[in-house]
Structure 1
Amino acid sequence: MLRLAALLIALAFAQTAAAQDFPALFRVVNVSAGDVLNIRAEPNARAAIVGRFERTQVGIEVVGLSEDRRWGLVRIDEGIGWTSMRYLQAERSDSWRDGQQTLTCLGTEPFWTFRFFLPNNRAEYVAPDTSFEVRTDAPHLPGTQFPPTLTLPFQGAREGFAVIRNGVCSDGMSDRLYGLEGQIYWRGQAQGLSGCCMLGH
């Protein structure tokens, strides 16, 4: 837990320099045939290897950058690690705030998942005792610049809205970190949901 707390502080500091740029999706580039891209425990080439990406790996979500912007923080299994940005290339030029990328928010106690299939206007909510689909106002979604946020009003089986904002987020169940926080508010209910969000899925 001490390591996780230190990473939260380091990542929060790093994100202030380019909060609206991350999280973002990347692909592996410039790795030789037969080789892999290492994921390390700390943002330096001498740190222990905790995982690896294949040379053709795509859809890697970089949550934030190290202070020197040379290393990207990525999720692996139930934890996190750092990989060199020298071998990663952005898959898209747009931002998560543009309403053009699918976003998945999730939370615990109770466990729930809310997928927003953007830029389409369909979304689905899944929890142990219920699941349903709703429609959003995509692609015309309100948001703010500073701090970066995106609001997703929805209607259908349930009505309400989701607010997604840039921020270091922990699921509370593992050492995994996310670059987006999400809050869900239901019309007519005082109690909403709070969780973490990621790109795609």
Structure 2
Amino acid sequence: MPALFSVAGVAPGDVLNIRAEPDAAAEKIGELAPDAVGVEVTARTAPDGWGRVNTGERAGWVSLGFLAPQDGGALPEVSRLSCFGTEPFWSLDADAGGLSNLSDPEGEALFLTGPVQPGAGRSDVFGVTGGAAGRTLALAIRAAECSDGMSDRLYGLSATVLVGGTMPRTLAGCCSLDTAER
């Protein structure tokens, strides 16, 4: 299950290396600052092994020994999600319990959305619902490896968005835990 972490135990002036494979000898493909926060780990090799993160246009691995979990950094506590897809291109900046912005070929729309709800009897399924001016929005999130199909980035949440109203549609893609203030 994806979660947000902070870099911990890395000396000031040093960096946490991002490796191409979960191996300290693997090619270095990026780095994280010693004070980095909001680092999304999308998969793990083992509880105390390596965590997969995205850097640039690809995915890499960091040692979990240098990451500390952020309070409220996992679903259902995380309230902001960045969801997106291709064919057609769409994005949903979801602020559960606030305003969420959907952008797709039909235009942009704001929805008042409720909190993230865990799936009944499931620890890997979550939902967010909302509405505005005769339209409805339902976001179904599932913990599963997901690719945007345009880069080598790998995400840990798949998404299905159902929009109801005069132009009903279903959109599929990925979500990322979002730490950015809006």
TM-score (norm 1): 0.80
Distance in 2 of aligned mates of 1:56 and 1:184:
35
Fraction of identical pairs, as percent: 37
Task: Report the structure, 1 or 2, having the larger strand content.
Answer: 2
Equivalent residue in structure 1 for 2:158, among 178, 181, 184: 181
| Cα offset, 1:33, TM superposition | 2.0
Q: Do the aligned residues in 2 keep the contact of 1:97 with 1:143 (CA within 8 Å)? A: no
Distance in 1 of aligned mates of 2:123 and 2:33:
35
| Cα offset, 1:52, TM superposition | 0.4
Equivalent residue in structure 2 for 1:143, among 116, 119, 131: 119
Q: Do the aligned residues in 2 keep the contact of 1:97 with 1:148 (CA within 8 Å)? A: no
Structure 1 regions of 5+ residues with no counterpart?
1-21
Task: Report the structure, 1 or 2, having the larger helix content.
Answer: 1
In the superposition, relative to structure 1, how do residues 182 and 84 fare at CA in structure 2: closer, same or farther (>3 Å)? same
Structure 2 regions of 5+ residues with no counterpart?
none
Q: Which amino acid aligns with 2:161?
A: I
TM-score (norm 2): 0.88
Distance in 2 of aligned mates of 1:132 and 1:114:
10
1:16-65, Cα deviation, whole Å (9 max, x unpaired): xxxxxx20001111111221100001111111111100111111000010
| Cα offset, 1:128, TM superposition | 5.0
Alpha carbon RMSD of aligned pairs, Å? 2.0
1:72 corresponds to which residue? 51
Q: Count matched residues.
A: 177
Give the match's secondary structure for 1:162: strand
